[in-house]
Every structure is written in structure tokens, then in C-alpha cells.
Amino acid sequence: MTIVPGKTEARRRLQPDRSGVLRQIWQHRADYAYVLPAIAVMLIVIAYPIYYTVELSFFKTPPGLQLRDKTFIGFDNYTTILTSDVFWKVTWNTVVWTLGSTFFSFVLGFGAALALHRDFIGRGVLRAILIIPWVISAVAASYIWKWIYHSDFGIIGAVLVGLGLADRPPNFIDNVSTVLPSLIVVNIWREFPFAMIMMMAGLQTVPEQLLSAAKVDGASAWQRFWHVTFPHLGNVSTVTILLLAVANFNSFIIPWIMTGGGPSNASHIWITHIYELAFGRQRWGVASAYSVLLFLMLMVLGYFYVRALAGNDRKEGSA
Amino acid sequence: MTRITLGGAVLRGTVSTALMVSLMSASALGAPPVDLSKWSPEYVRSIAGTQDFDTAADCAKVTPLDYKGRLTFWYQGIFEGDPDLLRQYYKDFFETFRKTYPNIQLEDQALTYNDLLDKFRTALLGNAAPMAIRLQILGGTEFASKGYLQPLKPEDVGYSTEDFWPGAMKAVTWDGVTYGIPTNNETMAFIWNADIFKRAGLDPEKAPATWDDVVKYSKQIHDKLGIAGYGLVARKNAGNTPYRFMPQLWAYGGGVFDEAAANPTYSDVELDSPQSKAALQASYDMYVRDKSVPVSALTNQQADNQPLFVAGQLGMMISHPSDYDVMRDLQKKATGSDKDKAQTVIDNMRYGLIPTGPDGKRAVVFGGSNIHILKPEYVEGGKVDEAAAKAIACMWASPEWSLKMAYAGSNPGNLNGFKTKWMKDRLDKIKFLDVTTSMLPYGIPFPALPQSPEIMNIIVPDMLQNALTGAMTVDQAADDAAKKVKDLMGGL
């Protein structure tokens, strides 16, 4: 008697005998097929540029020649960068810019979130108003702030002189000492609503019962915040701070439009300096080496971000 | 007060003559359409309106009017500091081109002076450049030297090399080959507010004779009236900065190289010479010592000086004749008492020659723009429609349109433009045009080197900013800039 295999048996025979990871991939082959186009696009627009940037960082690209006439120089571009005074100045600016912007944006955003978490008349309107800086185009905001800060006829200067608080308008962005703090203020103004929204979302997750129980037990407002609210916001705070740090590290528009990195390089941060090296001075090799270093820095921040997200997932899973 | 001695006068005359000869010396083989040796406001008036040109008929000889094709074209267009009048001429040009060549599908894109070079460089790296481009005079050599541009000379679009300023032709020549056609050429003038001069105790009808006088006048205006004297501009990556600082540098006898000489060799860097340092010192004295110029000079460009000037808050500046029209445009937008204040400024606007240096040397940047055609391999799609590209080059560089597109602020690149009826019309309508055309013989082109954009847009402004912010002393800033230029020329 001949046994004719059924459909299921036939499909089983067709399946290769794979185990472990391969078996799982095979089982999810349809999922992979769905994301394949996205992966292909990412390979083209992300992976290849990264590869090309890394490659270019090992080449000398004299400004008077085409890019195809580049010459291999090994790690010389990295040596040039690390031994340059400008690099250390720009790095210091980047650290001050990133930490200053991130810290104050977070603190202000957190404060605003706590204030708006309470129920009061006009809360919705206030929330909408506070979000405005974040939704305004960064380019438009930069031009507006440039006029607000203008060293000769800026609004702040006019008000201070008008009120008799200053003899002449303060010099915000044409002075090497004040330019970076002035730009950081603009950046904080633009970014704190993001922190506010994130923290407001986080505050929704704090169990109301715990807060009520703490209140019944006689805990003060500060104690309730410190012992109940704040511990619940650990992960969302970490994610918010990391996202702000990554965005600030990469922030180009405000410093470039308002000062172009000047005066005298006092407001150049890595990203604006890289742009000037590449597009203004055509040192593609050196700019690529800078970009590789920036990429590594961002990868480190990205690692912590992913870890924070994974921590969140684990907590939610265990809950 | 500077006293002019006989020796000084002779020296000044010699230097001016040398400059005029260098700029105007036409090819021995061809005769220019106008007599450059007679150049003066009276001569320009005498030739205006003496010849008619039929642009469509002339360009039809280059590209037939029924030619069917496609052209991608980028150009350095108008920006916020330009008058409305110029906007209208740009609009008219593209409308006329489309009517004249109805079968050429034109995809044009305007970019501002400060954005064009960066965008064009980026496009070239991706072989996505336009087929033709109109670039600022500073940019052409960089792209010609790298092999991106096709050889293109006036004869290719129906004109003669002698139809254009010799200085402009130098700027489109690299290694003996011509890579572009000048569309317009310009020299700026010195502008002052006579009312401010009067109130500050200065002769209201007399421009400062020397740059030392500018420093003195600026201080006097600031000390007496509490407003900015001179509109210094020291922003980085902005064309306005070299256009205002280089005349000062050259007048003091300095330079980046020897570009102010009759036959420049560009072999020695002179940014650290005592003369160059004296020019930088003058800016330092105005900004730091006397505080007599806008504090915002480090982030300003000319478009920022214009509102200051029309508000009566600035005594002197360097710019085009078009600034008169810009002031009128700004006045129209003003309200209340500001409108009257602006009118007072306009009534008191005066134009004069740019001041000389201590030795009587007068100089100004010989600016302008040129049209270039790209090699196919760098163009999106790998093809260049040469006939279409030549059609637009012919039309823009024609006597008619090279004049009209420079109506308010510049001068026609094609010398025949000075002979058209539109030039006559322009002389009647554009106030102070005489002054800027009188500055043309003093024009010095930027060094025709591929490194010039970086030198003029980054190194020179950096030098100014380093000195003016106190990040470096004047000597250190000049030495630092000279080293950067040497490194750059050495291929670093």
C-alpha cells in the first residue's frame, strides 16, 4: 500500500531542519519580509553613509582637489584633530552646551510638569502656551532670538535701557564670554516643553493610592514627592535626559543661525564645526574624522538610552 | 587732518593709474566697445543710449528660438538687503526667457550669496549639480580648478571677450582657459548721512578723505551723538565682510597676497605685513578703543546696517547705489513718526568715493557674478543641454539684461550695456550711480585662486573677530591669519 503524505506532512518535509536561531528566523520569515524594505532603505541612507564617512576619515582631501583625488593618510586626520587647539575649545563648548542645555531644560520641564499636574483653572491653556516654543520652527526661533538679543537694538537691551537699568544694551552674542550662555538660554527655552511633556506623561503613572496613603500617614508634600513620586519617575527621567543630551549634542540650527559659531569660535560646537570644516572649508577627511568621533559619542549615549528603555520594559513586564 | 603733499599726490596718481591700467587694459588684439581710458561719469553719460540691441535676435544666432530642450539653472539671486526694484527685474528676466524660448523647459532655482557655494559644493559631490549656474565672482576659480566646469568664453554665446571688463575676464580664467561669462560687475561707494555729520560738527557735504578720517569721524559722531559712526561688518561666512574690509586693507597698502598689484603673482602672503596690521588696527580702534561702530558688527551683515542707517542710528557705511532704493522701500514700510525720520535720512543720504589709505591709495572690491556651464558627469542625469545653457548665458550676459539685472545695484558685465537706452534711463532714475561707476577704475578683483572663498569668507573674518573680541591682539590675529593662508596654500 502506498501512503500518500498529507499537506501538513509535505510542508514539514519541505521545511529545512533548522534549530535555534535559524528556526526562529524561518518561523518569522513573513515578519522579516515586511521589514525588509525599511531595512534596505536604512542600509542605503544610514549604513552606507556611515561606512563612507569612516572610510573618508582616513583620507586627505585637499580643498583644491575633487573628492576622488583623495590620498590615504591613515590616522593622520584623527591626530590633527586631537592635537588642534580649536578641537579642545570646541569640545569644551560642546560639553558646556550639552550639559547646560540638558540639565536646565530637564529641571525647568520637570518643574513645569509638576505645576501642571495639579488641577487648576486655566491649566489647559497654560499647557498649550508652554508647548509653543517646542512647536515653533527652530529656524524661526533662532532669527527671533537674534533680534531679541541684538547688541544694538535688541528688545532686551531696549527694555533695560528704557527702564534705566543699563546705560547701553548688554552684549549677548557679540562677546566671547556671553555668547554661549546666551545660546544655551535659547536652547533651554525651546527644549524644556519636551521635558515637560515627557515628565507629565510620567506623572500619570504614579499610583494615586500610594500618594493618598502617604498623605494619610502624615507625609509632607516634599516627602510625598521624594519618597513616592520621584522613585516612580526614574526611568522616564533617564530616557528624557538621554534624549535631550543626544539632541543637544547634535543641535545645529540655533548656534549656526544665530552666530555661525562665532565670534572667534566662541559658540562653535562639534556639529557646527564639522559643518564648517566640510562645507565651508572642504576638509572632508578631517570633518569625517570629527563625525566618526561624534558618532562614537552618540553611540555611547544611545547605549544608555537603550538600556534605560530595556529597564522600563523589564519593570513593566514584572509588574 | 591729513595734509596732502605734492609727493603724496604724485604717488597717489601713480598708484591709481597703475590700478586703472591693470583693470582696464584691454587685449592688444581686440578693441572694447567703449573707451575704457576715457572712463568718467561724463563719458558714461555720453555713451548711454547711443546703440540699440535686439537680444532675442542676437541669442537666436546662438540657440534658435524654437529650440526644444530642458535646462536646470541655479543662480545667486536677490536677498533681504536688495530693493524691490531688483526683484521685479529678476521676475521679468525669467518671464522674458520663457517667452523667448517657449520650448526650453527651464527649472531655475535662486539661492542667496551666503548659501549658494555650500549648496553647489554639496550637489557636486553627489553629481547632482545643475546644468548651468550663475556664481559670485569669488567662486568660479574654485570649481574651474577642480575640473567641474566646461570651458566657456563670450565668443561661445555670440559676444567678444573685449565686450567685458578685463578684470572680470581674469576672474573666470584658470590656467589660461576661460570658464565663464561675466553677467555684472560692481564696485561700491561710501555712503554717509549729511544730517548726522552736521550735528556731529563735521562738514555735511564732504566724505572722509582717508580711512584714518573714517576712524576719527566715527568717534566724533559716537561721542557727540551717542550713535554708531561707521557700519563695520565682521560676520563670518558672509560676503559683505570682505567687500567692506578688503578696500580698507588694500588702501593701507596691505593685502592677502599682492592682489592689489598691477600684475599679481599671489606668491607671498601679506596679511601679516605692517600695512595689513595697520588696517586691522583701524578696525580695532573703532570697535574696541572708541566703541564707535555697532556692537553687533560681529554678527551683522549689510542688511542689518540698513535699518540702523534709515533709523538715523548710523553715520557712514559702504554699499551699492541700490541702498538708496532700499532706504526708500524701508521708509514706505515705516509708520507714524518713523516715516518722517526715515525721510529725513533719505534726504540727507550722500554718496562719495571710498576713502584712501595714508599713501593716497584708493581701492574697492571689483565684484560681480559669472555664468558657468557644468560638465555632464557632475550634473543630475549625466546630461547637459548645452544649447539651452548657452541660450540663458547669452540672454543674461546680453547688453540689455546684464544691465537690467544690475539696474539698481551693480553695473552691466557686458560693456555694451553702458550704451543702451536702459543705461540712459538708469542714469536718470538711480541716484548716485555716477559715484559707483566712478569707483570702477579702483576695483581690485579677489585673488583668482581656488582658495579664495575660504580666505575671504572664513580666514579674513576670523582675523577680524579674533582681534575685535580680544581673543588675540591685532598682531597675533594678523599673524594667525597669515599662517592659515600659508597652510591653505600649502595644501593643508
Domain parsing of chain A, residue ranges = 72-312
Which residue in chain A has the smallest CA separation from B461? A264
| Nearest by Cα to A287 from A302, A272, A298, A297 | A272
Mean pLDDT (whole number) for A234-250: 91
Q: Do A279 and B118 touch (CB under 8 A)?
A: yes
- Alpha carbons A236 and B158: distance in angstroms, whole number: 70
Q: How far off is chain B from A153, nearest CA to CA, in Å?
A: 9
B36-187+367-444 in CATH: which number? 3.40.190.10
Rounded to the nearest angstrom, the minimum Cα separation between B466 and chain A is 5
The CATH number of B189-364+451-489, from 3.40.190.10, 2.60.40.10, 3.40.50.2300, 3.30.300.130, is 3.40.190.10
Best to test chain B binding among A90, A152, A284 (most B CBs inside 10 Å)? A152
Task: Report A:163-182 residues touching B (Cβ under 8 A).
Answer: 168-169, 171, 173-176
What are B70's strand-pairing partners? Answer: B105
Mean pLDDT computed over B331-349: 91
A64 and B118: CB-CB below 8 Å? no
Nearest residue, CB atoms, B146 vs list A65, A174, A279:
A65
B111's grid cell: 539661492
Q: B469 vs A264: CB contact, 8 Å cut-off?
A: yes
Structure-derived torsion over alpha carbons of residues B260, B266, B272, B275, reported in degrees to the nearest 10: -20
Cβ-contact A309, A239 below 8 angstroms? yes
Instruction: Give residue B361's pLDDT.
Output: 94
Minimum-distance CB partner of A280 among B118, B228, B299? B118
In our burial notation (b when 16+ CB lie closer than 10 A, e otherwise), range B17-38 reads eebbebbbebeeeeebbbebee
Q: Which residue of B has its CA nearest to A286?
A: B492
pLDDT for A305: 80
Rounded mean pLDDT, A138-162: 92
| Dihedral pair phi/psi, residue B367, rounded to 5° | -100, -170
Are B36-187+367-444 and B189-364+451-489 the same fold in CATH?
yes
Contact A264 B145 (CB under 8 A): no
What residue type is A305 in one-letter code? Y
Please answer yes or no on whether B466 and A169 come within 8 Å at the CB atom: no
Higher pLDDT, B349 or B429: B349
Which residue has cell 570649481? B143
| Per-residue pLDDT, B26 | 38
Contacts of A153 in chain B (CB under 8 A): 307-308, 311, 313
**Mean pLDDT, residues B72-87 taken together:** 84
pTM above 0.90, yes or no: no
Query: Shortest Cα distance from A37 to chain B (angstroms)?
Result: 23
Query: Who among B451, B457, B466 is closest to A64 (CB)?
Result: B451
Is pLDDT of B482 > 80?
Answer: yes
* pLDDT tens-digit readout, A14-39: 555 556 788 888 888 898 899 999 98
Residue B166: count other Cβ atoms within 10 Å of its Cβ. Answer: 18
Q: What whole-number percentage of chain B has pLDDT above 90?
A: 64
Three-state secondary structure string covering chain B: CCCCCHHHHHHHHHHHHHHHHHHHCCCCCCCCCCCHHHCCHHHHHHHCCCCCCCHHHHHHCCCCCCCCEEEEEEEECCCCCCCHHHHHHHHHHHHHHHHHCCCEEEEEEEECHHHHHHHHHHHHHCCCECCEEEEECCCHHHHHHCCCECCECHHHHCCCHHHECHHHHHHCEECCEEECEEEEEECCEEEEEHHHHHHCCCCCCCCCCEHHHHHHHHHHHHHHHCCEEECCCCCCCCCHHHHHHHHHHHHCCCCCCCCCCCCCCCCCCCCCCHHHHHHHHHHHHHHHHCCCCCHHHHCCCHHHHHHHHHCCCEEEEEECCHHHHHHHHHHHHCCCHHHHHHHHHHHCEEEECCCECCCCCECEECEEEEEEEECHHHEHHHCCCHHHHHHHHHHHCCHHHHHHCCCCCCEECEHHHHHCHHHHHHHHHCCCHHHHHHHHHHEECCCCCCCHHHHHHHHHHHHHHHHHCCCCCHHHHHHHHHHHHHHHHCCC
CATH domain A72-312 topology: MetI-like fold (1.10.3720)
Q: What is the mean pLDDT of residues B80-109?
A: 91
> Across the interface, which of B457, B469, B491 has its CB nearest the CB of A280?
B457
Which of A276, A240, A279, A239 is CA-nearest to residue A259? A276
The pLDDT > 70 percentage for chain B reads 94
- Name which residue leads in pLDDT, A312 or A244: A244
pLDDT band at B61 (very low <50, low <70, confident <90, very high): very high
**Residues linked to residue A71 through DSSP beta bridges, in sequence order:** A60
Where exactly are the structural domains of chain B? Answer: 36-187+367-444, 189-364+451-489
Q: Chain B residues with CB inside 8 Å of A281's CB?
A: 454, 458
| CA dist A133 → A39, A100, A106, A181, B443 (Å) | 34, 18, 15, 18, 47
pLDDT-derived band at B28 (thresholds 50, 70, 90) equals very low
Confidence of residue A292 (pLDDT cuts 50, 70, 90): very high
The residue type at B284: Y
pLDDT band at B166 (very low <50, low <70, confident <90, very high): confident
Please tell me the predicted confidence (pLDDT) of residue B15.
Answer: 41
Nearest residue on chain A to B294, judged by CA atoms?
A: A152
Assess whether pLDDT exceeds 60 at residue B24: no
Q: What is the pLDDT of residues B385-416, one digit of tens each?
A: 999 999 999 999 999 999 999 887 778 999 99
CB B282 within 8 A of CB B276: no
Q: What is the pLDDT of residue B29?
A: 43
pLDDT band at A8 (very low <50, low <70, confident <90, very high): low
Q: What is the pLDDT of residue A22?
A: 85
- Residue B441 pLDDT class (50, 70, 90 cuts): confident
**CB contact at 8 A, B415 and B34:** yes
Q: What is the mean pLDDT of chain A?
A: 88
- pLDDT given at position B252: 97
pLDDT band at A234 (very low <50, low <70, confident <90, very high): confident
Mean pLDDT of the residues in chain B:
89
CB hemisphere CA count around B239 (13 angstroms): 23
Terminal-residue alpha carbon distance, chain A: 58
Chain A residues with CB-CB distance to B462 below 8 A: 264-265
- Distance (Å) from the alpha carbon of B445 to chain A's nearest alpha carbon: 20
Q: pLDDT tens-digit profile of B169-191?
A: 988 999 999 999 999 998 899 99
